[in-house]
């Protein structure tokens, strides 16, 4: 019985969205033991992109990780778990992420639109997974929660870029 692993809720080791050149647009890694540094994360992402950007599969084993992925226009969505994780759970998180992003971006899932709404997409990612534990796999629930959180925000009419510019202006004024 020593070969059996203890069940755990910490299924997701990382989630990443890369552009069609393999550059990171958004990534969250939940286990510091898997990739201790950002350099290790980016090296893995480059390798992952090289293995998947021309493939027609939906799952790949790479560096002891099971990676499920999906591409659309100029974006690649990835969800990673350890090699023994259930692929169905990883795929359900991936589907939720993609469908929630699609709903938030009004089916205009492409790099420019994603970057313009990166703050909202980050909120969606936090609604889907917390610390490696999948919380929600229904994309409608995720997009509704994100919409509610945005309405409650004091900066709801501003993007992150606008907030930064507004802060810079207020700091530079005498």
Mean pLDDT across the chain = 86
CA distance 26 to 104: 16
CA distance 26 to 164: 19
CA distance 85 to 66: 7
Chain length of the chain: 174
56 vs 68, more confident: 68
Dihedrals phi, psi of 57, to nearest 5 degrees? -75, 175
Can you give the pLDDT at residue 1? 46
CA distance 132 to 29: 8
Q: Can you give the pTM of this predicted structure? A: 0.81
Domains defined for the chain, CATH in brackets: 12-172 (3.30.450.60)
Q: Could you report the per-residue pLDDT of 88-135, keeping only the tens digit for each?
A: 999 999 999 999 999 998 888 899 999 999 989 999 999 999 999 999
């Amino acid at each position: 019985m020593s070969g059996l692993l203890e069940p755990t809720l910490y299924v997701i080791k990382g989630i990443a969205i890369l552009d069609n050149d393999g550059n990171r647009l958004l990534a969250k890694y939940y286990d510091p033991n898997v990739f201790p540094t950002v350099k290790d994360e980016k090296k893995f992402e480059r390798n992952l992109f090289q293995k998947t950007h021309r493939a027609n599969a939906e799952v790949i084993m790479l560096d002891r990780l099971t990676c499920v992925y999906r591409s659309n226009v100029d974006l690649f969505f990835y969800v990673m778990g350890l090699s023994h994780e259930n692929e169905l759970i990883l795929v359900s998180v991936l589907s939720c992420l993609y469908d929630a992003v699609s709903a938030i971006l009004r089916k205009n899932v492409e790099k420019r639109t994603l970057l313009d709404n990166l703050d909202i997409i980050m909120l969606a990612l936090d609604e889907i997974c917390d610390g490696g534990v999948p919380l929600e796999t229904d994309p409608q629930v995720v997009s509704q929660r994100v919409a509610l959180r945005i309405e409650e925000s004091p900066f709801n009419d501003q993007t992150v870029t606008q907030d930064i510019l507004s802060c810079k202006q207020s700091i530079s004024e005498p």
